[in-house]
Chains A and B, each alone.
Chain A
Amino acid sequence: MNIIVLLSAGRDPQSGTPRPVPVELQAIALALALATHLAPTTTITGLHAGEPDPSVLDALGHGLTTLTLLRTNPADDPLATLAAEIDRARPDLILAGRRGRGGTDSGLLPYRLARARAMPIAADAIAIEPDGNDLAILQSLPRGARRRLTLARPAIVTIHEAAPPARTFAFRARRSGTIHEKPGIPAPSPTDNHEIRPYRQRPRLIAETTQPTTAGHLMLAPTPETAAAAVLAYVEQFRGR
């Protein structure tokens, strides 16, 4: 099987220095775990459209052995470049982070790529296994819930933070990894009219819920059975969300 891991240029949330995006490193770890299930001919390649950003090159120290670097202007839209490379490499599985960390961080790119290459996409995976000709994906949902999906190949899967941890950094592996550098397709992204400001923390809403939304119901000294029935009826209303 041929697996591509999409890598984006990451930044540290505190210092702003180049730092790989943690979920993308977890994607590499998942790909390596998947490779142990499969024939030894499985290849795992990192793919980045942009400049040789240190954060992307550092992925080589986290278990990745080959990286394809498609040189474009970092301000360009990477879609066309990545789509062309996928047409060439014909991967069976493409892994991406659920959100980038350092760019627009909208998590939209994997979906646009899936649409452009008419591939199915599944989000927030924490485990991937081959299932005949398909892929079995375990999805992480809020509140500790899990969903199992069967996905046709080739597919794009984004990785959730709850996936197994990334491999630790090894400097020697970082040095010995191979980088294939090729020119990408320049595609200036449409200028958006976004105004950029330093981030300002805004308060979350909680005031609304400090009082019950409906007037509370009060039961004075009911029998234990009536009380228990009332509790069950009340709880049933809010279960399963």
Chain B
Amino acid sequence: MIRRDPRAERDAMVVSRTPRLRLDRTHRGGASLTRADAPVAAPTIIHIAEPAFLVFAVIEAAGGALNRHDRQVIGAARTLAGRDAAVVVLTPHLPSQAPDAIGTAGGDRTITLPTPTYDPERSAALIAQAITDHAPRHVVFPESADGGDLARRVAALTEADLFAGAESLTPTQAIRPAQAGRVELRATPPRLISIAPDRIAPYHGAPHAADPLPTPAAAATPGGIRAATTLAVDAATIPLDQAPLVIAAGNGVTDFAGFLDLARALGATPGASRVVCDAGALPRALQVGASGTVLNAECYIALGISGAPQHLQGIGTVEHIVAINTDLHAAIIARAGLAIIADAQDVMQALRAML
């Protein structure tokens, strides 16, 4: 197949560029046609060497990987930066599994904020120092539990206002709810903005080159938070709509005691399809789907579930799905990141034996 390359065609028509651009439009350059089956070049990486201004994106990168909200924060920063400004991603650590994840998400620079333990006072001081050092035009935070806390600490430290929980963002306008959600405030994007989850689209364009910048040096913080420990939670007690990892049984599962035991061993919250709840094999509270619970999980394991539309509605926002089914043509297989065509019973037993 032959494709036109308008840029190359135009370049072939250039007679002179100074004092003004002159094109010879009678010329029909042959060199401008490229064969599409020629080896595809890797996507060009965008470098912004001399940015017009900087936009900071503060992400959480919990567990060493970017989550959905993190990518939305970088996407929001990218929107504010446009083509000429650089997005500086401030992260507690670089994503371990995919080092180029930040560039793919739209970041041009990275600053690592070393906080080995939970220490929001120190994180805020480091970010405030980075703001002093680099004078970014905007700083975007996730309006999450820890991200929102950090945003307010930075706002208080830098004596700036925070545009909290923006639900819409363009380079010229930011919108957030106020007055008990009865009105919305519109303003030109101020310096500090936090964005509500699932409102602002992540960046999908060509990857950027995420070059590291030096870590800011911050003075000692007062240390009012003396100690912090995260308590282990029993996955079985997490409400289904908040659970990070859900394992669900469908009509293809026969051993429900074994299923619940596996969920406990895996540290996953158990769920079920409607057929299983209708049959009384598992309690109704476990039902996932349109008439059950809509999940917000990070990862979902579907055992012997066909993936009916009403079921898929319950896992609309789940990004990582494992499907174990004997039927290659089940709808859930098309939706899965890892699809295994096998007997659910056998895999369950093997999994239990491995834990």
User: Interface residues, chain A, CB within 8 Å of chain B?
Assistant: 10-13, 16, 101-108, 111-112, 114-115, 118-124, 134, 140-152, 155, 192-200, 202, 204-206, 208-214, 216-222, 224-225, 227-232, 234-235, 237-241
Question: Could you tell me the distance between the alpha carbons of A64 and B164 in the complex, rounded to whole angstroms?
Answer: 30
Partner of B335, one of A13, A148, A212, A230: A212
Rounded to whole Å, the gap between the CB of A86 and the closest CB of chain B is 15
Contact count band on B: 35 or more
- A114 and B156 CA atoms in complex are apart in Å by 8
Whether, in the assembled complex, B183 has its beta carbon less than 8 Å from a beta carbon of chain A, the answer is yes
Contact A202 B244, beta carbon cutoff 8 Å: no
A190 nearest CB across to chain B (Å): 9
Residues of A within 8 A of B68 (CB): 209
Does B14 lie at the interface of the complex (its beta carbon under 8 Å from any beta carbon of A)? no
Residue from A12, A112, A195, A202 within 8 A of B185 (CB atoms): A195
Q: Which of B213-249 contact A (CB under 8 A)?
A: 222-231, 233, 237-239, 242-245
Q: Is the CB of B184 within 8 A of A150?
A: no
| B residues apposed to A, CB below 8 Å | 62-63, 65, 67-68, 72, 97, 118, 121, 144-146, 148-149, 152-153, 155-157, 159, 161-165, 167-168, 177-188, 198-202, 222-231, 233, 237-239, 242-245, 266-268, 298-299, 301, 316-322, 324, 328, 333-343, 346-347, 349-351, 353-354
A114 to B337, alpha carbons, bound, how many Å? 46
Do residues A120 and B184 form an inter-chain contact, with CB atoms below 8 A? no
A-B contact count (CB 8 A): 262
> Is B340 in contact with A230, judged by CB distance below 8 angstroms?
yes
B337 touches A216 (CB 8 A): yes
Bound complex: CA A145 to CA B202 (Å): 26
CB atoms of B62 and A216 under 8 A apart: no
Residues of chain B within 8 A of A151, CB atoms compared: 224-226
State the CA gap A192–B343 with chains docked (Å).
62
Residues of B near A220 (CB, < 8 A) are 328, 341
Specify the chain A residue showing the minimal Cβ separation from B267: A239
Q: Contacts A107-B148, A208-B201, A227-B342; is A194 near B187 (CB within 8 Å)? A: yes
Bound-state CA distance A150–B117 (Å) is: 14
Q: Contact check, B224 vs A228: say whether CB atoms are below 8 A apart.
A: no
Inter-chain contact A199/B184, CB cutoff 8 Å = yes
CA distance A149 to B231 in the complex (A): 11
- A204 contacts B198, C-beta separation under 8 Å: yes
Known contacts A146-B233, A231-B351; is A111 also within 8 Å of B316 by CB? no
Given contacts A111-B155, A222-B340, contact A103 B198 (CB under 8 A): no
Q: Judging by beta carbons under 8 Å apart, are A232 and B149 in contact?
A: no
Determine whether the beta carbon of A16 is less than 8 Å from that of B337: no
- Collect the chain A residues with CB atoms within 8 Å of residue B163's CB: 106
Q: How far is the CB of B76 from chain A (nearest CB, A)?
A: 12
- The answer to whether B225 and A122 have CB atoms under 8 Å apart is yes
Q: When A204-B199, A235-B322 are in contact, do A144 and B238 touch as well, CB less than 8 Å? A: yes
Q: Which residue of B lies closest to A194 (CB)?
A: B185
A142 to B142, CA, bound (A): 13
Partner among A11, A148, A195 whose Cβ is within 8 Å of the Cβ of B186: A195
Q: Are the CB atoms of A105 and B178 closer together than 8 Å? A: yes
Given A11-B179, A234-B320, are A216 and B339 also a contact pair (CB < 8 Å)? yes
Query: Closest CB of chain A to B284's CB: distance in Å?
Result: 20
CB nearest to A204 among chain B residues: B198
| Cβ–Cβ contact A198 & B336, under 8 A | no
Residues on B with C-beta less than 8 A from A147 are 118, 228-231
Q: What are the residues of chain B within 8 A of A222 when measuring CB–CB?
A: 340, 342
Whether A216 pairs with B231 at a CB distance below 8 angstroms is no
